[in-house]
């Protein structure tokens, strides 16, 4: 055992003893009546690993993100992570709380010297499902270190991440943010050669088609969330969560021309991603004195 480890253990032990002495002196100078311990004032508790703060999706766990918290054995779930010491009968008194906290400090120092305990073993893992402060940690909500990056965590089963080029104009003026749901539209100029070099029989210059519906935006450029206080993100690339079977449709649409993201209202993110069956109509456009018609889905 090295000198540094001995120093850490000594400091932890001294801190625990000092806390106990301060609490004992405080209780000594109080006129505390004699209390007979009853079954209701003592509970079998176990130390459960919990989130020390709110942990959003994609957080890499590090020191300060997790903590041990006393948990009633009667409410213990088999999925919770414990310190392995089993249940202990803990009186519900201020002195007991201070002693428990001092014990946690000493145990953490000992675990650090021994190479880490259950908490330290999770450092570097990524949060797969968001957790709130004081929520028990379960393995199913984490992705172990080395098992994948951010996109591998946030992608749902059967989904793929696909990136498309966007501009301020095609991405809702920058007000489409990660987490929003959008529809993908594409406008293409009709090819006269497909009709022997003559204008299309319907006289329409453009055709607008719906590529996909209800697609989740994963990122704009490298931003997976807007900056604090920001209400918009202007970027050149949007990364979308697309069902595996629809990736070819997006790739084909990218090759054919520009794709426009159409923002869906908040809460309107249910339903399939496949484009709905539609009929085709037209809209007459007036540009600089010229008139043209565009086919649109109705």
Most confident of 120-124, 163-167, 203-207: 163-167
**Domain 3-25+42-143 part of CATH 3.90.1210.10:** yes
Would you give the DSSP letter of residue 199?
P
pLDDT score of 44: 85
Q: Which of 220, 254, 250 is nearest to 234 (CA)?
A: 220
More confident residue, 8 or 166: 166
Q: Is pLDDT at 5 greater than 70 in this prediction?
A: no
Q: How far apart are CA 19 and CA 104, in angstroms?
A: 12
Q: What is the mean pLDDT of residues 149-170?
A: 89
| Tokens coding 289 | 């004195």
Report the mean per-residue pLDDT for the chain.
Answer: 78
Q: What is the pLDDT of residues 206-258, one digit of tens each?
A: 788 899 999 999 999 988 888 878 889 999 999 999 999 999 999 999 999 89
Q: How confident is the model over 256-271, as pLDDT tens digits?
A: 989 999 999 988 877 7
Q: What is the mean pLDDT of residues 111-122?
A: 71
Sorting pLDDT into bands at 50, 70 and 90, what band is 97? low
Backbone phi and psi for residue 100, each to the nearest 5 degrees, phi listed first: -65, -40
Distances (CA, A) of 11 to 20, 110, 116, 120: 14, 11, 18, 20
* Higher-scoring residue by pLDDT: 220, 37: 220
Distance CA 221, CA 234 (A): 9
d(CA 24, CA 22): 5
Question: What pairs with residue 143 in β-bridges?
Answer: 126
pLDDT band at 272 (very low <50, low <70, confident <90, very high): confident
Per the DSSP assignment, residues forming a β-bridge with 199 are none
| Residue 254 CA: distances (Å) to CA of 8, 41, 129, 142, 219 | 59, 67, 32, 34, 18
Report CA Rg, the chain.
30
Can you give the residue ranges of every domain in the chain?
A: 3-25+42-143, 155-297
Q: What residue spans of 78-160 are helical by DSSP H?
A: 94-113, 150-154
Q: Which of 32-36, 46-50, 139-143 has the lowest mean pLDDT?
A: 32-36
44 in Cβ contact with 74 (< 8 Å): yes
**How much of the chain, in percent, has pLDDT values that exceed 70?**
63
Query: Which range among 4-13, 33-42, 96-105, 216-225 shows the weakest confidence by mean pLDDT?
Result: 33-42
Write down the residue that tokens 């690339």 correspond to. Answer: 237
Secondary structure (DSSP) of 43-54: EEEEEEEEESS-
Q: Please check the confidence at residue 31 and state whether its pLDDT lies above 50.
A: no
Specify the pTM. 0.55
Better pLDDT: 29 or 245? 245
Angle between helix 94-113 and 3-28 (nearest 10): 180
Instruction: Say how far apart CA 83 and CA 114 lie, in whole Å.
Output: 14
């Amino acid at each position: 055992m090295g000198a540094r480890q001995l120093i850490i253990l000594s400091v932890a032990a001294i801190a625990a003893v000092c806390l106990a002495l301060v609490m004992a002196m405080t209780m000594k100078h109080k006129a505390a009546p004699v209390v007979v311990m009853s079954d209701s004032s003592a509970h079998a508790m176990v130390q459960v690993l919990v989130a020390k703060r709110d942990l959003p999706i994609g957080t890499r766990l590090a020191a300060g993100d997790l903590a041990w918290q006393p948990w009633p054995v009667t409410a213990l779930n088999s999925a919770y992570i414990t310190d392995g010491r089993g249940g202990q009968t803990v009186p519900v008194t201020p002195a007991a709380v201070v002693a428990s906290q001092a014990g946690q400090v000493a145990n953490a120092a000992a675990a650090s010297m021994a190479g880490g305990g259950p908490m330290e073993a999770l450092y570097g893992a990524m949060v797969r499902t968001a957790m709130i402060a004081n929520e028990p940690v379960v393995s199913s909500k984490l992705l172990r270190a080395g098992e994948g990056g951010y996109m591998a965590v946030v992608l749902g089963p059967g989904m793929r991440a696909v990136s498309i080029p966007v501009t301020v104009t095609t991405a809702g003026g920058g007000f489409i943010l990660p987490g929003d749901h959008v529809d993908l539209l594409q406008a293409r100029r009709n090819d006269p050669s497909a009709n022997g070099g003559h204008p299309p029989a319907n006289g329409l210059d453009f055709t607008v088609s719906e590529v996909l519906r209800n697609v989740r935006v994963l990122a704009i450029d490298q931003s997976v969330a807007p900056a604090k206080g920001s209400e918009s993100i202007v970027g050149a690339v949007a990364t979308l969560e697309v069902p595996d079977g629809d990736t070819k449709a997006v790739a084909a649409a990218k090759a054919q021309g520009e794709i426009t993201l159409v923002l869906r209202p908040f809460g309107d993110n249910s339903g399939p991603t496949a484009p709905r069956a539609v009929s085709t109509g037209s809209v007459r456009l007036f540009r600089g004195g010229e008139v043209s018609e565009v086919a649109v889905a109705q």
